[in-house]
């Protein structure tokens, strides 16, 4: 039976891609055929093959062979590094869930595990009346929250968890990511997160360690999620 997960973040730039790639490596090491997906990505670069996003390429590289076409991983690629609803508006594009779902269904049919990375935080707008959270809601995906460990993470994590629950989604667990290696009282903050978040900690990723090496941190998480 295949399993799919939605990776949400407490904010932009807190390491969703890093955590997603690490999770993909951990699942691969446990014998799963895995694929990452970035349904919507802004800040893409022009290449000879078309628009390409750095995060989506990282997810593709962490996936199991044979690799799917890039367009299956990242159906909506936008040039400007803006909120997707603004980047799409500037390019006269419309972001809709239906074509994203078709790409997702194709991946889910071909891989044991699909890790779907969101964009920005839980409530980033994609289009009028459509938010990043609607992907998890419409596709009924359990959510893994990536908490960027820095000053303010407690509030951001708890607000995100409340929003996820309010939208009727299941928070399956959370991953701490050491984005600020000099953060004060990091262990005490982690203890607080473990006490207050309504889901288990799946692991804490060390600063500056590539996903392939950091994957051992999430070994127990794979067993819990499988």
Known active-site residue 38: yes
3-state helix, strand, coil in the chain (%, to 5): 40, 20, 35
> Which stretches of 111-185 are DSSP H helices?
133-139, 153-166
Distance CA 103, CA 200 (A): 30
Provide Rg for the chain, Cα atoms.
16
Single out the catalytic residue among 16, 38, 93, 137: 38
Which contiguous run of DSSP H or E holds residue 54? helix 54-61
140 conformational bin, left if phi > 0, alpha if psi -120 to 50, beta if neither: left
Q: Which residues are catalytic?
A: 38
């Amino acid at each position: 039976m295949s399993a799919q997960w939605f990776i949400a973040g407490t904010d932009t730039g807190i390491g969703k891609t890093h955590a997603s790639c690490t999770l993909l490596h951990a699942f691969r090491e446990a014998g799963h055929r895995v694929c990452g997906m970035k349904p919507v990505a802004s800040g893409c670069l022009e290449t000879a093959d078309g628009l390409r996003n750095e995060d989506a390429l990282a997810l593709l590289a962490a996936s199991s062979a044979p690799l799917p076409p890039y367009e299956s991983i990242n159906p909506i690629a936008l040039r400007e590094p803006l909120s997707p609803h603004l980047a799409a508006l500037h390019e006269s594009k419309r972001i809709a869930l239906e074509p994203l779902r078709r790409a997702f269904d194709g991946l889910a049919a071909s891989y044991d595990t699909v890790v779907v990375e969101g964009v920005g935080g839980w409530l980033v707008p994609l289009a009028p009346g459509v938010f990043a959270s609607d992907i998890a809601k419409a596709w009924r995906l359990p959510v893994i929250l990536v908490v960027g460990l820095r000053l303010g993470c407690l509030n951001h994590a708890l607000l995100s968890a409340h929003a996820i629950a309010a939208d009727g989604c299941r928070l399956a667990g959370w991953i701490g990511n050491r984005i600020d290696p000099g953060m004060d009282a990091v262990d005490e903050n982690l203890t607080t997160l473990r006490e207050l978040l309504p889901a288990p900690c799946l692991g804490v990723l060390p600063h500056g360690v590539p996903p392939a090496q950091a994957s051992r941190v999430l070994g127990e998480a794979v067993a819990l999620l499988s």
